[in-house]
């Protein structure tokens, strides 16, 4: 990928979803391999990744495989073998978190720094570039000026900036959340997060007063940077990543198509920028991010701290308002749609907020018109007596449109590479030359006798029509030229095999010209790490990772939280999101407010869910929140012993072996 190219990077839970991501315009796809991929239940065989890579490479699209868990010592050799298999299968790059991988024998595959490496500073970004990483997935919490500062510090010929533009948001800085492991033994850094951030909590102040009750105060809305793409390009981002390796086929199709259209508009405006892959997409639907599951949208911190980034009422999909209740029957609900053209379908998912602002589902078995335009009688799946606080006047949303779902279950896109076609006569017969939009060329020749056309006026039109029938090939004609001094009749029995041979030759030429991405070279001697001491927050879980940091000048290295050396209270989550700010209790918000200034302090809060209690502490200088707690005794007892022993105060050379 060149510095002027703009890459749309889509997720894939399976190879088949990845193929559809490519068909809907992805310049690259990221997918988990059979293990070590930071998403349990999103694994794929090496054979499936090979199948996906073969399809993607036809368009010049790339396949990035996630190997982004932190690894135990006993996992390093299986990971090494797997990475060699992935390289042989055609994977273009690895997305990694564990720096121990840089200390083992890898094939010459390009390495990208996962967002879990927690890249927030210029110093860390430059260090990772100098360590041989070719692309950096920056923290989602960064602002445009911060992204710009990192971009300007990097050598764009060696290392590019990647940024998340859509999907679910982790409330913590990625790689800096240990709540799941502390409470359940399931480690987010090893791909098994229990999503404590989506739970409801009771919030109390330092005096024990309830500040908020049953609110999802750690649950963020979903990321949507649709309105910031031009600004992100100006800030230096070159790869734009859609979250969602757990998401279904409809989500990947729709969101990929949505951003493909937006980026195509920008590329039309900016001829100095280029696509990172080949071909143009045509969709049989109008992409719409609101149609997929979402917790409503935010652009998070890209334009600075915002008031409304949390999905505090519910972590579920609230959908979009569709109408209101007009009547209730024994087993039906009558609805009046706001738009009289709206149609409610059998199987639609509806919902509403009850009096406690909890989202209540209203799944529809059957829907039928009820006389007036836009009025429907719907028969819910569940009994009406179980639908809390549903009454006349209740506003109803739709969060699943079955008509939309069915449309995306079918073929919904075509991606074709433009080609110029030129048919000419030779001494022996015919020659067909093809040149694609990337400049690849191929030809085919056919020895045959030609007869003059009986209808000269129609002969050229029929030839062009026959040549343009590229069917299910990769290609679509841009222009078809006929280099004939006089019209000739060419029967389909001759023209069809000539066209097929030329197309096959062009595909072969494209495959031959395809180049693997180069592995970034580490600077020698090794660049010093920006700090000489690392805590558990560095996620060092094996001796190879320890050796990496020692080589780069770190003197004191603590082991990862998953090693269970941190038995007391520590920061289990570090986040840019601030509960005090979101509840209008921030001292900075009170500054200058008469009667309030000086009375609001950043004292700790506590949050409780069932018997789980955590403390919120506020570091106002960097404007960050720490969620503080300790590992549960049951986790300590149930988990295996730490696979490594690190000496915090007396580093040894042990890790180098």
pLDDT in tens, 352-379: 999 988 899 999 999 999 989 999 999 9
CB neighbour list of residue 49: distance below 8 Å, 6 or more residues apart = 15, 31, 33, 63, 65, 86, 89, 90, 91
Q: Please tell me the predicted confidence (pLDDT) of residue 38.
A: 58
Tokens of 145: 């000026």
Confidence tier at 601 by pLDDT (50, 70, 90): confident
Confidence tier at 238 by pLDDT (50, 70, 90): very high
- The predicted model gives 554-581 an average pLDDT of 95
Confidence tier at 600 by pLDDT (50, 70, 90): low
| Structural contact between residues 59 and 449, judged by C-beta atoms closer than 8 angstroms | no
Tokens of 630: 């300790």
pLDDT at 508 over 80: yes
Q: Please tell me the predicted confidence (pLDDT) of residue 457.
A: 74
Q: Please tell me the predicted confidence (pLDDT) of residue 588.
A: 79
Confidence tier at 547 by pLDDT (50, 70, 90): very high
CB neighbour list of residue 621: distance below 8 Å, 6 or more residues apart = none
Q: Is the dihedral of CA 33, 226, 235, 143 positive or negative?
A: negative
- Residue 330's alpha-carbon distances to 333, 343, 385, 426, in angstroms, are 8, 23, 9, 81
**Which is higher by pLDDT, 184 or 600?**
184
pLDDT at 653 over 50: no
Q: Please tell me the predicted confidence (pLDDT) of residue 41.
A: 66
CA distance 225 to 231: 10
- The predicted model gives 181-199 an average pLDDT of 93
| Structural contact between residues 468 and 481, judged by C-beta atoms closer than 8 angstroms | no
Q: Please tell me the predicted confidence (pLDDT) of residue 652.
A: 45
Q: Please tell me the predicted confidence (pLDDT) of residue 311.
A: 93
Q: Please tell me the predicted confidence (pLDDT) of residue 656.
A: 37
Confidence tier at 637 by pLDDT (50, 70, 90): confident
Tokens of 241: 């990543």
Q: Please tell me the predicted confidence (pLDDT) of residue 645.
A: 58
CA distance 394 to 411: 37
Averaged confidence pLDDT in the chain: 93
DSSP SS3 for 471: coil
pLDDT at 593 over 90: no
Burial bucket for residue 424 (CB in 10 Å: 0-12, 13-18, 19+): middle
């Amino acid at each position: 990928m060149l510095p002027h190219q703009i890459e749309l990077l889509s997720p894939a839970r399976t190879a088949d979803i990845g193929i559809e991501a490519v068909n809907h315009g992805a310049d690259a796809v990221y997918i988990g391999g059979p293990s070590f991929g930071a998403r349990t239940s999103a694994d794929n065989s090496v054979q499936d990744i090979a199948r996906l890579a073969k399809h993607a490479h036809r368009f010049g699209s790339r396949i990035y495989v996630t190997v982004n868990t932190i690894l135990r010592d006993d996992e390093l050799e299986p990971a090494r073998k797997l990475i060699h298999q992935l390289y042989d299968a055609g994977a273009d790059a690895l997305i990694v978190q564990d720096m121990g991988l840089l200390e083992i024998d890898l094939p010459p595959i390009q390495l990208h720094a996962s967002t879990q490496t927690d890249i927030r500073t210029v110093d860390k970004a430059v260090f990772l570039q100098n360590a041989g990483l070719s692309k950096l997935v920056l923290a989602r919490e960064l602002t445009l000026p911060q992204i710009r500062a990192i971009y300007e510090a990097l050598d764009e010929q060696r290392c590019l900036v990647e940024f998340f533009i859509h999907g679910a948001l982790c409330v913590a800085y990625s790689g800096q959340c240990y709540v799941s492991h502390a409470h359940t033994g399931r480690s987010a850094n090893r791909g098994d997060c229990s999503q404590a951030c989506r739970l409801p909590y009771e919030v109390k102040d330092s005096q024990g007063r309830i500040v908020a009750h049953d609110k999802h105060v750690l649950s963020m809305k979903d990321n949507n940077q649709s309105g910031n793409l031009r600004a992100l390009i100006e800030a230096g981002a070159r790869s734009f990543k859609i979250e969602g390796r757990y998401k279904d086929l409809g989500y990947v199709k729709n969101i990929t198509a949505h951003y493909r259209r937006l980026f195509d508009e920008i590329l039309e405006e900016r001829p100095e920028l280029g696509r990172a892959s080949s071909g143009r997409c045509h969709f049989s639907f109008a992409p719409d991010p609101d149609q997929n599951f979402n917790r409503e949208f935010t652009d998070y911190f890209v334009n600075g701290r915002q008031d409304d980034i949390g999905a505090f009422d519910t972590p579920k999909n609230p959908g979009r308002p569709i109408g209101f209740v007009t009547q209730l029957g024994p087993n039906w609900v009558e609805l009046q749609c706001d738009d009289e053209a709206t149609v409610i379908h059998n199987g639609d998912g509806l919902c509403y907020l009850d009096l406690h602002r909890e989202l209540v589902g209203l799944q529809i078995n059957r829907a039928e018109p009820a006389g007036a335009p836009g009025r429907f009688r719907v028969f819910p799946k569940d009994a009406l007596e179980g639908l809390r606080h549903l009454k006349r006047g209740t506003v109803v949303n739709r969060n699943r449109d079955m008509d939309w779902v069915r449309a995306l279950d079918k073929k919904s896109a075509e991606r074709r590479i433009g080609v110029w076609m030129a048919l000419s006569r030779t001494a022996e017969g015919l020659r067909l030359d093809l040149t694609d939009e990337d400049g690849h060329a191929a030809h085919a020749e056919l020895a045959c006798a030609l007869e003059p056309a009986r209808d000269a006026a129609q002969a050229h039109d029929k030839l062009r029509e026959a040549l343009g029938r590229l069917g299910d090939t990769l290609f679509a004609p841009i222009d078809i030229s006929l280099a004939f001094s006089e019209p000739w009749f060419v029967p389909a029995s001759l023209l069809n095999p000539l066209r097929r041979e030329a197309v096959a030759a062009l595909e072969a030429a494209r495959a031959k010209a395809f180049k693997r991405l180069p592995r970034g070279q580490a600077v020698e001697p090794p660049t010093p790490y920006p700090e000489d001491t690392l805590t558990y927050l560095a996620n060092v879980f094996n001796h190879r990772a320890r050796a990496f940091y020692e080589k780069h000048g770190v003197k004191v290295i603590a082991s990862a939280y998953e090693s269970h050396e941190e038995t007391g209270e520590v920061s289990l989550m570090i986040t840019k999101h601030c509960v005090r700010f979101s509840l209008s209790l921030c001292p900075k918000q009170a500054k200058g407010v008469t009667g309030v200034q000086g009375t609001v302090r950043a004292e700790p809060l506590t949050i409780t869910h069932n018997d789980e209690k955590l403390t919120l502490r506020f570091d106002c200088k960097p404007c960050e929140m720490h969620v503080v707690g300790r590992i549960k005794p049951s986790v300590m007892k149930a988990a295996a012993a730490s696979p490594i022993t690190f000496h915090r105060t007396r580093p040894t050379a042990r890790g180098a072996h």
